[in-house]
């Protein structure tokens, strides 16, 4: 039991939930800074009584960030959005908030700061998501030079938005349009990401470093869709469509409240999403990577025609 206090921004999201569970098991006191604590009550039973606290914070509000960071030994920033809506912009969340959390953490005497970012973060990228992720990283380093940056490839796990989205689409549609099918990805298991973060927290030599976190195997996007097709036993046709048509569709789909795809996401998909091999990753953090095939079939089973109740023939 370390007893150190860890503040997690974005702890109510997909990766946050697994991370909170791992940190609580490791004996940390966890303060999860969330916009709506009432919607994050599911986190409290992940620890012992009182071990996981919820604090109200909006990373666009300095006073709430200061209050959430006060007294913390370690701060982890997981806040991000996949598309912009209203005041939830890439600029405010990926750049402004990342810089603010780093600045406030330094001023409060926080010992370690971990900034979670994405593979593909690049100030020159065609994607605004990737550009703002890179600018956020830069601001974090300016305000808190010993911060550790962890760039992730696509993350999978029971509540992921990647495999579940395509599983649901395979179940609902007779054909799936595929664009950038040749782009490479190296999916990493959410439990491995949480272990990697935990190891960064306990390893002083991780200070100031950049890690690129990918899984054990590289796939093309099309191979992953074929895998979803196989696991869900849906015989969906995968139809490669020309890029201009995909962008045309995304232009309209991107206007929906919870868009299935946006133009910015297509720009991101144009590039491979795999570690460069020039930075340390899971291996260096002592985490053995879990294969996609060992986990994903278990939670995509309910997208099969007869769900989990298929009678063995
Ligand atoms: N999942 C992946 O495949 C993947 C891949 C590469 C990189 N990453 C990176 O990993 C990190 C975590 O990803 P995730 O998949 O766990 O994301 P997620 O499920 O979308 O969670 C994002 C979190 O940010 C919070 N948030 C959003 N706006 C906020 C605001 N204004 N103030 C405070 N909190 C706010 C959300 O809380 P609310 O409930 O309040 O909205 C949520 O808890 C991100 O940096 C992401 O870029 C993820």
> 257-312 pLDDT, tens per residue?
889 899 999 999 999 999 999 999 999 999 999 999 999 999 999 999 877 776 55
Residues 213-247 have pLDDT tens digits of 999 999 999 999 999 999 999 989 999 999 999 99
Does residue 242 form part of some domain?
no
- Alpha helices, DSSP H only, in 26-118? 62-69, 90, 97-107
Q: Is the CB of 254 under 6 A from ligand 1?
A: no
Residue 97 is predicted with a pLDDT of 98
Residue 306 is predicted with a pLDDT of 78
CA 309 to chain centroid: 31
- 3-class DSSP state of 209: coil
Percent of the chain with pLDDT over 90: 94
Does residue 281 form part of some domain?
yes
Residues 25-76 have pLDDT tens digits of 999 999 999 999 999 999 999 999 999 999 999 999 999 999 999 999 999 9
Does residue 210 form part of some domain?
yes
Cα(10) to centroid of ligand 1, in Å?
Answer: 5
Q: Is the CB of 231 under 6 A from ligand 1?
A: no
What is the greatest pairwise CA distance in the chain?
A: 64
What's the rounded mean pLDDT across residues 3-10? 96
Distances (CA, A) of 51 to 17, 20, 119: 14, 10, 32
Q: Judging by DSSP bridges, how do beta strands 210-213 and 184-185 pair with one another?
A: unpaired
Does residue 264 form part of some domain?
no
Distances (CA, A) of 260 to 165, 252, 300: 8, 10, 18
Cα(116) to centroid of ligand 1, in Å?
Answer: 9
Ligand 1 pocket test target in 36, 67, 78 with most atoms within 8 Å of CB: 78
Cα(230) to centroid of ligand 1, in Å?
Answer: 29
Q: What is the dihedral of CA 123, 125, 127, 133, to 10 degrees?
A: -30
Provide the mean pLDDT of the chain: 96
The number of the ligand 1 atom at minimal distance from the alpha carbon of 117 is 45
Ligand 1 pocket test target in 10, 197, 292 with most atoms within 8 Å of CB: 10
- Domains of the chain: total: 1
Ligand 1 pocket test target in 11, 13, 91 with most atoms within 8 Å of CB: 13
Cα(13) to centroid of ligand 1, in Å?
Answer: 5
Number of residues written out for the chain: 313
Does residue 92 form part of some domain?
yes
Does residue 228 form part of some domain?
no
Q: For residue 39, what are the domain limits?
A: 5-156+187-214+273-289
Nearest protein CA to atom 23 of ligand 1, as residue:
10
Alpha carbon distance 19, 23 (integer Å): 6
Cα(14) to centroid of ligand 1, in Å?
Answer: 7
Strand runs (DSSP E) across the chain, as ranges? 5-9, 29-34, 52-56, 74-77, 112-118, 148-152, 155-156, 175-178, 184-185, 188-189, 210-213, 219-220, 237-240
Cα(79) to centroid of ligand 1, in Å?
Answer: 4
CA 4 to chain centroid: 24
Alpha carbon distance 250, 292 (integer Å): 28
Ligand 1 pocket test target in 31, 33, 79, 210 with most atoms within 8 Å of CB: 79
Q: Look up residue 88 and give its DSSP letter.
A: B
Q: What is the CATH number of the domain that holds 279?
A: 3.40.50.720
Q: Is the CB of 190 under 6 A from ligand 1?
A: no
Q: Is the CB of 152 under 6 A from ligand 1?
A: yes
Q: Is the CB of 289 under 6 A from ligand 1?
A: no
Q: Is the CB of 58 under 6 A from ligand 1?
A: yes
Q: Is the CB of 92 under 6 A from ligand 1?
A: no
Is pTM beyond 0.95? Reply is yes
Does residue 27 form part of some domain?
yes
Say if residues 33 and 71 touch (Cβ distance below 8 Å).
no
The number of the ligand 1 atom at minimal distance from the alpha carbon of 156 is 3
Does residue 10 form part of some domain?
yes
Residue 209 is predicted with a pLDDT of 98
Q: Is the CB of 80 under 6 A from ligand 1?
A: yes
Alpha carbon distance 14, 275 (integer Å): 21
Q: Report which of 215, 111, 89 is spatially closest to residue 156, judged by C-alpha positions.
A: 215
């Amino acid at each position: 039991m370390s007893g150190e206090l860890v503040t997690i921004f974005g702890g109510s999201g997909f990766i946050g939930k697994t991370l909170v569970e791992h940190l609580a098991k490791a004996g940390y006191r966890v303060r999860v800074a969330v916009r709506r604590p009432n919607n994050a009550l599911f986190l409290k039973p992940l620890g012992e009584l009182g071990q996981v606290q919820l604090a109200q914070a909006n990373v666009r509000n300095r006073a709430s960030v200061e209050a959430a960071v006060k007294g913390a030994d370690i701060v982890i920033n997981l806040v991000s959005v996949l598309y912009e809506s209203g005041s939830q912009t890439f600029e405010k969340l990926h750049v402004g908030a990342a810089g603010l959390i780093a600045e406030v953490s330094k001023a409060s005497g926080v010992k370690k700061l971990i900034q979670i970012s994405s593979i593909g973060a690049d100030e020159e990228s065609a994607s605004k998501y990737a550009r703002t992720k890179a600018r956020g990283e830069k601001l974090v380093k300016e305000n808190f030079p010993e911060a550790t940056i962890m760039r992730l490839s696509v993350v999978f796990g029971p509540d992921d938005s990647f495999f579940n989205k395509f599983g649901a689409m395979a179940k609902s549609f007779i054909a799936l349009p595929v664009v950038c099918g040749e782009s490479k990805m190296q999916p990493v298991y959410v439990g491995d990401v949480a272990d990697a973060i935990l190891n960064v927290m306990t390893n002083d030599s991780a200070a100031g470093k950049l890690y690129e976190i990918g899984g054990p195997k590289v796939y093309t996007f099309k191979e992953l869709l074929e895998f979803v097709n196989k696991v869900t036993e849906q015989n969906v046709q995968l139809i490669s469509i020309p890029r201009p048509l995909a962008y045309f569709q995304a232009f309209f789909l991107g206007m929906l409240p919870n868009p299935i795809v946006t133009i910015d996401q297509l720009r991101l998909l144009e590039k491979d999403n795999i570690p460069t091999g020039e930075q340390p990753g899971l291996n260096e953090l002592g985490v053995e990577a879990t294969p996609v095939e060992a986990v994903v079939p278990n939670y995509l089973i309910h997208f099969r025609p007869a769900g989990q109740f298929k009678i063995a023939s």
